[in-house]
Amino acid sequence: MAAAQGHISGQSDGADGEDGAEGGAVPPAFRAAVDALRAARLRPELEVDPTRPPKRLAPHAYALEAAVVDGEEDLADGRLVLLHDPAGHEAWQGTFRLVTLVRAELEPEMAADPLLPEVCWSWLTGALEARGLFYGEAGGTVTMAGSHYFGALETRRPATQIEIRASWTPREGRGGVPDTAAHLVAWGDLLCQIAGLPPSGPQDAAVVTLPQRRGPQVP
């Protein structure tokens, strides 16, 4: 299993968030939430790295990017951002917010299912609920975009990319710190689902996944 690693990041420079920087000291609750992200244990198919977070969404932010990898092929990729505003945010109904972008390429026959957007959104909420996580103010979009290739690229098969953009407010626990490690694990479950991987454990067994995108499809 891979552990997520990275740097605490604050708004002052978008990279370090060091105490005493222009954005002020890093709040203990935010530091604890980021430390939990760093210590999370994820499925071995996931490759996770820290990345530069957005600067203007909240006073403090930390970001990870991940890919579901099979050999040299990326089956899905995504980005998860942890935002923190110690003063609270009316739209969030809390002091923390998780924001994500998840993408995967589908075979055209999979993309033809008119219920696919609803199913993909249910994967997000289902992944959180399967881990016993409480959250609020969830919202987002599911978008499908098709590509057809011409000229020098005409040998490529048509492809459809599905994209989930979402955000939600994690329930805060002791000391005002949400269980960010569990939210990251649930997000990893979502990435693996959209990549078409089978469930990793009993908590995922009831969740419908996309078929594998390589080789013959089993009816």
CA distance 147 to 93: 39
Please state, for a pLDDT cut of 70, what percent of the chain lies above it: 77
pLDDT of residue 205: 38
pLDDT band for position 204 (cuts 50, 70, 90): very low
Q: What is the pLDDT of residue 201?
A: 61
Choice between 14 and 64, residue whose per-residue pLDDT is larger: 64
pLDDT digits (tens, 9 = 90+) for 161-198: 889 999 999 999 888 999 999 999 999 999 998 888 88
Locate the domains of the chain by residue range.
2-204
Q: What is the DSSP letter of 101?
A: E
**144 vs 217: CA distance, rounded Å:** 22
Q: What's the whole-number mean pLDDT along residues 8-29?
A: 52
